[in-house]
A and B are shown apart, each in its own frame.
Chain A
Amino acid sequence: MGVLAYVLRRLALLGLVLLGVSTVVFFLLRGMPGVDPLAAYIAPGLPISQDALAALRGELHLDDPLPVQYIYYVAGLVKGDWGYSRTAAQPVLEALVGRLPATVELAVCAVVLSTALGIPLGILAALRKDRALDVAVRVVSITGISFPVFWLGIILQLVFFYYLGQLGLPSLPSRGRVEDLVALQYPLRPVTGFYAIDSLVAGNAPFFISALRHLVLPAFTLSLISLAAVVRIMRAGMLEVLRQDYILLARSKGLPLHTIVVRHALRNAITPVLTTAGTTLGILLGGAVVVETVFSWPGIGRLAAQGILNNDSVLVVGFTLFVATMMVLVNLAVDMLYAVVDPRVRY
């Protein structure tokens, strides 16, 4: 029963955080001094009648005191009414959920890439501390953190799309999720919204290949952000664990190196990586906004960016709330993963 109580406790805590986020968001929408709450709902330059304005004021309960407005607002959130986005010409929640699979597909690829590369690199760097590999890894890692993501995306586009194309070599696409031509010729009925999975399941090979090719550059760009962090943390964690006494005992049993690393060291060293998984996801979501813009990837990040250009605060604020909710859920999943990996946590 330890695990259940643990989960419930975490859930309650995270619920409080969400409430707090909704307060901040509400304040941004309605409570900013000097900012007219209605401004976000009106397209600049478009004439709007007084009646329509009054109706809008009534709908948003703008004449009520702030605390009352807040209650209506939160009630609306819970019911699924997150406002209407001019940019998407859809209710905000619908717009976000509709484009979510594109972003998730990208983020998942980025996470897979960065962990698949980052964890082994971090382990190797720790095992060969201060030797050539370690130094190289650390250099790459700090370069990765310092690289502006949008610049990297543009450079990759330049090299892999333009220059390769110029040389007549097969190049990688730089825009969108799939070739328009392919989508027309080999239409896919989206089930999950994940193009790679849907096309694989449907046996639609051209679509699948095109989708994968389009994933490469954006996913790689996005993964670089977290790769550097994962490598650093894994290396530090591994170094810490390898100094521990129980590793000496494991060695004295005559266990070979790979057994010691995998069975004894890794489970202990991976906890700091998990701890930062939540923050890393947050950084990835922020990065997704930029990467989706660079590669014209139709996910929630690009939608939010378009909302900014359009002064659509309702959308942008809804996006913020959406992201916060996702992070909260991921943090919960990470906490549960903790309980699996480290038995001491269950008590």
Chain B
Amino acid sequence: MPRVDGQPAVLEVRNLCVDLGIGGRWIRALDDVSLDVRAGEALGLVGESGSGKSLTALSIPGLLPGNARAVGGSIRLMGEEILGRSEPELNRLRTRSVAFIFQNPTTFLNPVLTVGEQIAEIFDLSPELLDAPSPGAPPSRRERRRQAWQRSVEYLRLVRIPDPDRIAREYPFELSGGMQQRAVIAMALARRPHLVIADEITTALDVTVQAQILGLLSELRRSVGMTLLLITHDMGIVARLADRVAVMYAGTVVESADVRSLFREARHPYAQALLEAVPTIRGDRTIFRAIPGAMPALSDPPPGCRFHPRCPRALAECAAVRPAPVLAGADHAVSCHLYGGSPG
């Protein structure tokens, strides 16, 4: 995918292929995924469930599940290659470079540790995030502990948790879902990472809380300059938060563009169908347009373009040849034969 304005990319994923071991066989779950996230921007990664968005996200900090393995391509975070790194090296990256926010905060917070402890332990790993009391003199352990706790409380305040001193001393089960998610966001921010990955972070919350969290993210992006990889199936969230969008289908990226261009003129038939499927209220009726058919099983993908069985505008070559990404406008790439996606 070409780069525009020579802007530095925090994350560059190129031709990533990931296999899943299911039922004794290796199934290609991610096939040739490529995307960029540039400094300071928010990239929305959208797709239905099963499209491979979470898997893509998990590969970045090297947190693929035990039965998955990356078999090709490259992931470069701040210029450093991630694939093939050892666990200690990955740990270093996870602490300082990339923070992951998961979907369901309740199960992702440790029930026996207080909220504050779970944030403060980050500073144990990266003492450089704390200040030394005086230059040249390393802080004592007690001093570090105290500072770590103070910082944790500050981050809780940053995510708009009321009475952060008290909340930091409480256990996760004492907080509401929204507060738990804010705490997890605070944990992510405390590392001052180069990249924050948010995987369906509002899906498990009810609508009003969703809106609050999205508002918080919006504000944080402005104030802290957060670089965000936002994973969601909800086009509304994309419209609100993302600068650019990448659309995934059945393990591959089918279209990517800046958010305005995508919403105005999506090229790929799947992306178009996705946008049309968003319920709108026109006049006094709500119109639902579903996409006929279902995502193919990963174990038996259709040949050629994976979308062609459901595509209303499929061409003959779609069933035979996989389309390669092509530029179809400024910073707007599409993998579709309709736009000349044939290789060579």
Interface residues of A (CB under 8 A from B): 244-246, 248-257, 259, 263-264, 267-268, 341-344
Contact = CB atoms under 8 A, between A and B. Distances in A.
A257 B94 CA distance: 13
Contact of B99 (A252, A263, A268, A341): A252
B107 to A, nearest CB: 4
Contact of A252 (B94, B104, B112, B113): B94
Given A251-B63, A344-B173, A267 B94 contact: no
- Across chains A and B, which 7 residue pairs bring their CB atoms closest together, nearest first? A254-B95, A254-B94, A245-B107, A252-B100, A254-B91, A246-B110, A249-B108
A249 B107 CA distance: 10
Given A248-B102, A264-B113, A344-B171, A254 B108 contact: no
Nearest to B93: A254
Interface in B65-105: 87-88, 90-96, 99-100, 102, 104
Nearest to A267: B112
Contacts of A267: 112-113
B112 to A, nearest CB: 5
Contacts of A251: 63, 94
Contacts of B173: 344
Contacts of A249: 100, 102, 108-110, 184, 187
Given A248-B102, A252-B99, A253-B95, 7 more contacts: A248-B63, A249-B100, A249-B109, A254-B94, A254-B125, A256-B91, A344-B111
Contacts, number: 71
13 contacts: A245-B107, A246-B111, A249-B187, A253-B121, A253-B122, A253-B125, A253-B187, A254-B92, A255-B121, A256-B88, A257-B87, A263-B113, A344-B112
A343 B174 CA distance: 10
Nearest to B92: A254
Contacts of B87: 257
B194 interface: no
B171 A255 contact: no
SS of B interface (majority): helix
B269 interface: no
SS of A interface (majority): helix
A253 B94 CA distance: 6
Contacts of B171: 343-344
Contacts of A253: 94-95, 99, 121-122, 125, 187, 191
A344 B171 CA distance: 8
Interface string B178-196: 0000001001000100000
B61 interface: yes
Contact of B121 (A246, A263, A341): A263
B105 to A, nearest CB: 9
A345 B213 CA distance: 30
Contacts of A344: 111-112, 171, 173
A251 B92 CA distance: 11
Contacts of B191: 253
A343 B102 CA distance: 24
Contacts of B121: 253, 255, 259, 263
Interface in B91-148: 91-96, 99-100, 102, 104, 107-113, 121-122, 125
Contacts of A256: 88, 91
B91 A245 contact: no
Contacts of B125: 253-255
A119 B107 CA distance: 25
Contacts of B92: 254
Contacts of B94: 251-254
A244 to B, nearest CB: 7
Given A251-B63, A254-B93, A254-B94, A245 B113 contact: no
Contacts of B102: 245, 248-249, 252
A341 B112 contact: yes
A264 B122 contact: no
Contacts of A257: 87
B61 A252 contact: yes
